[in-house]
């Protein structure tokens, strides 16, 4: 399944946040939450997460740095089940890694969903756009 769009939800005092309906799948028993890149967390279906493991495994056999990355990639991965209200309970360790406190941005990014602190996402986007002068025109050729 491919994901796109952006939704902001509130995080409660117990570390629970509602997974937006647009990102829920009836056929998924649980999700895999993990540390992501650039200050966010990644949320995968089990099948999507297993694909990442296979890709890393293909490359790790003879490279020490990639073996280390495989360990780090699996270190924080956590199976997450939605409760009756459709909420994810985010473990404290992952809350800290993602800098999540009061609000969570769910950002669909094709094969995964990213969970961002709103201010961290805004800062990241601004820095990337300023540093690399990224514009929509830069990627427009992909859409042609």
Kindly report, residue by residue over 111-143, the tens digit of the pLDDT.
899 999 999 999 998 888 778 776 677 677 666
Task: Tell me what pLDDT residue 42 has.
Answer: 97
Count of structural domains within the chain: 1
Name the region of 10 (left: φ>0; alpha: ψ -120 to 50; beta: rest). beta
Verdict on whether the full-model pTM lies above 0.75: yes
What domain range is 100 assigned to?
A: 6-117
Q: Report yes or no on 128 lying in a domain.
A: no
Quote the CA–CA distance of 40 and 32 in Å, as a whole number: 14
Task: Tell me what pLDDT residue 68 has.
Answer: 81
In this structure, the number of other CB atoms found within 10 A of the CB of residue 50 comes to 12
Kindly report, residue by residue over 43-65, the tens digit of the pLDDT.
999 999 999 888 887 776 677 88
Q: Report yes or no on 125 lying in a domain.
A: no
CATH number where 113 lies = 3.40.1550.20
Q: Report yes or no on 59 lying in a domain.
A: yes
């Amino acid at each position: 399944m491919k994901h796109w769009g952006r939704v902001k939800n509130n995080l409660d005092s117990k570390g629970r946040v509602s997974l937006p309906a647009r990102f829920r799948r009836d056929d998924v028993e649980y999700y895999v939450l993990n540390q992501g890149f650039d200050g966010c967390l990644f949320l995968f279906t089990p099948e999507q997460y297993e694909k990442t493991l296979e890709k890393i495994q293909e490359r790790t056999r003879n490279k020490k740095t990639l073996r280390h990355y495989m360990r780090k990639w699996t270190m924080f991965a956590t199976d997450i089940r939605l409760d009756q209200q459709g909420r994810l309970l985010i473990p404290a360790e992952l809350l800290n890694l993602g800098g999540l406190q009061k609000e969570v941005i769910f950002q669909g990014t094709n094969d995964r969903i990213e969970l961002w602190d709103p201010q961290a996402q805004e800062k990241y986007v601004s820095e990337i756009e300023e540093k690399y002068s990224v514009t929509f025109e830069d990627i427009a050729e992909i859409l042609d």
